[in-house]
Amino acid sequence: MKARKCIKCDNSTHQEDGVCVICRLGIKQVYSDLIDLLKKDKNFNFRRLKIAKIG
Phi and psi at residue 4, to the nearest 5°? -115, 170
Q: Where exactly are the structural domains of the chain? A: 4-54
Residue type present at position 30: V
Q: What is the pLDDT of residue 55?
A: 45
CB–CB of 32/40 below 8 Å?
Answer: no
**pLDDT, tens digit only, all 55 positions of the chain:** 688 898 888 888 888 888 888 888 888 888 888 888 888 887 777 676 666 555 4
The structure's pTM equals: 0.51
CB–CB of 18/7 below 8 Å?
Answer: yes
CB–CB of 12/5 below 8 Å?
Answer: yes
Q: What is the pLDDT of residue 54?
A: 56
**For the residues of 11-48, what is the DSSP string, one character each?**
-EE--TTS--HHHHHTHHHHHHHHHHHHHH-TT--HHH
